[in-house]
Amino acid sequence: MLQFIVALLTLSLALSSLGAEETYHLASSGSTGSLGSGSDYRQREVPLFPAALWTEDLRARQIRDAGRPYWVPTQEEQQALSAAAQVSLLLNNDILLYYGHPLSQNMGVLGRFPKDELQRRLGSLAAEYQAVGGRNVLTGFHLIYGTVWPGGDIGVIRQSVLEEWIQWTQDNGMLLVLDHQIGRFDPIAQLRSLLPYLHYPHVHLALDPEWRTPRPMQEIGHLTAAEINQMQAIMEDYMIEHNISGERLLIIHQFNQVMIRSRQDIRTDFSRVRLVHNIAGIGPPRLKRDTYAFGAQAANMPVKGFKLWYDFGISGHTDSPLMSPREVMELNPRPYVIMYQ
């Protein structure tokens, strides 16, 4: 019995020293391990992430741990907690992105203005979101890297254009998300083609299940939970193998139930990859809220994104009226990544 108590105390101390992401591994991975089905960590109704995005949650955990009898954090444990607080890009930031292809006016706002004008407009919009949401707002561009063509072939953006946008966003302290539409090709192979860009500290990745099809505009494509989990594992392994620090976003778009199969099986317990479930419905606010509510049902993907569409006179690709930043931030659960096309 004494040995059991000692082991239990040792486990409790070990768990208390884990950072936010490592604790979430235990809470959500589905592995019973040595915790047993009766563990408090297994019984958590709300995943630690994204609760740990808030510094208030980290402070509450520090106060709770400090108040436990006969327990004082070691210097190593305190450093581990501080490191976990600094690792996540989303810890104290919301993310605001402009979406599109820089060489096409019909594929989003990126193709309609020069880069410096895009930055100015985005900065003004970010100030509105910061006033409403109360958190710092990071800005960036969500750039279409691979565009699907009839028959499912893919047109990849010219390397010279891509390098120009990578350098410009890096020089101006902005994020850059590279979005691949997949087409008729193997999604894992298409993801691998993007991995070298992770060496840039501000570059993140996105894949669009809608366009994973040989028949674009005729059918809606899909990704499976197994494929999305494999993508996250491949990204994380690549980062570890190449000593790439920090974390990276992997944004997966959805507006229709067919786009992600078996989505209840998607994992979000990777320590280096932050999966963003981006809800991309089009239309008036009522319809967009309904689409978002469908996306919110996937509680296993707690980090939500939300896309809005400017009115550029393109039929079927307009939100009318456009939701205000306050309306966006009142969505439940709140989105952490917001993009405008």
Kindly state the percentage of the chain with pLDDT values over 70.
75
Query: What 3-state class would DSSP assign to 205?
Result: strand
CB 119 within 8 A of CB 172: yes
- The predicted-structure confidence for 56-68, as pLDDT tens digits, reads as follows 555 666 666 666 6
Confidence bin at 182 (pLDDT 50/70/90): very high
Q: Is the peptide bond before 333 cis (omega within 30 degrees of 0)?
A: yes
Backbone angles phi, psi at 138, to 5 degrees: -90, 140
CB 202 within 8 A of CB 140: yes
Confidence bin at 283 (pLDDT 50/70/90): very high
Which pLDDT value is given to residue 327? 98
- The predicted-structure confidence for 83-125, as pLDDT tens digits, reads as follows 554 557 888 899 999 999 999 999 999 999 999 999 999 999 9
Q: What's the whole-number mean pLDDT along residues 283-288? A: 95
Confidence bin at 17 (pLDDT 50/70/90): very low
- Domain spans in the chain, listed from the N-terminal domain onward: 2-87, 93-340
CB 247 within 8 A of CB 288: no
Confidence bin at 227 (pLDDT 50/70/90): very high
Residue 181 pLDDT greater than 70, yes or no? yes
Fold of 93-340: TIM Barrel (3.20.20)
- Reported residue count of the chain is 341
Q: Is the peptide bond before 321 cis (omega within 30 degrees of 0)?
A: yes
Q: What span, in angstroms and rounded, lies between the C-alpha atoms of 180 and 201?
A: 19
Angle subtended at Cα 15 by Cα 12 and Cα 18, rounded to the nearest 5 degrees: 155
Tell me which residue of 96, 91, 36 sits closest to 58, measured CA to CA.
91
User: Over the chain, what is the mean pLDDT?
Assistant: 82
List of residues 6+ apart from 194 with CB closer than 8 A = 145, 178, 180, 205
Residue 297 pLDDT greater than 80, yes or no? yes
Other CB atoms within 10 A of residue 158 CB: 11
Angle subtended at Cα 97 by Cα 93 and Cα 103, rounded to the nearest 5 degrees: 155
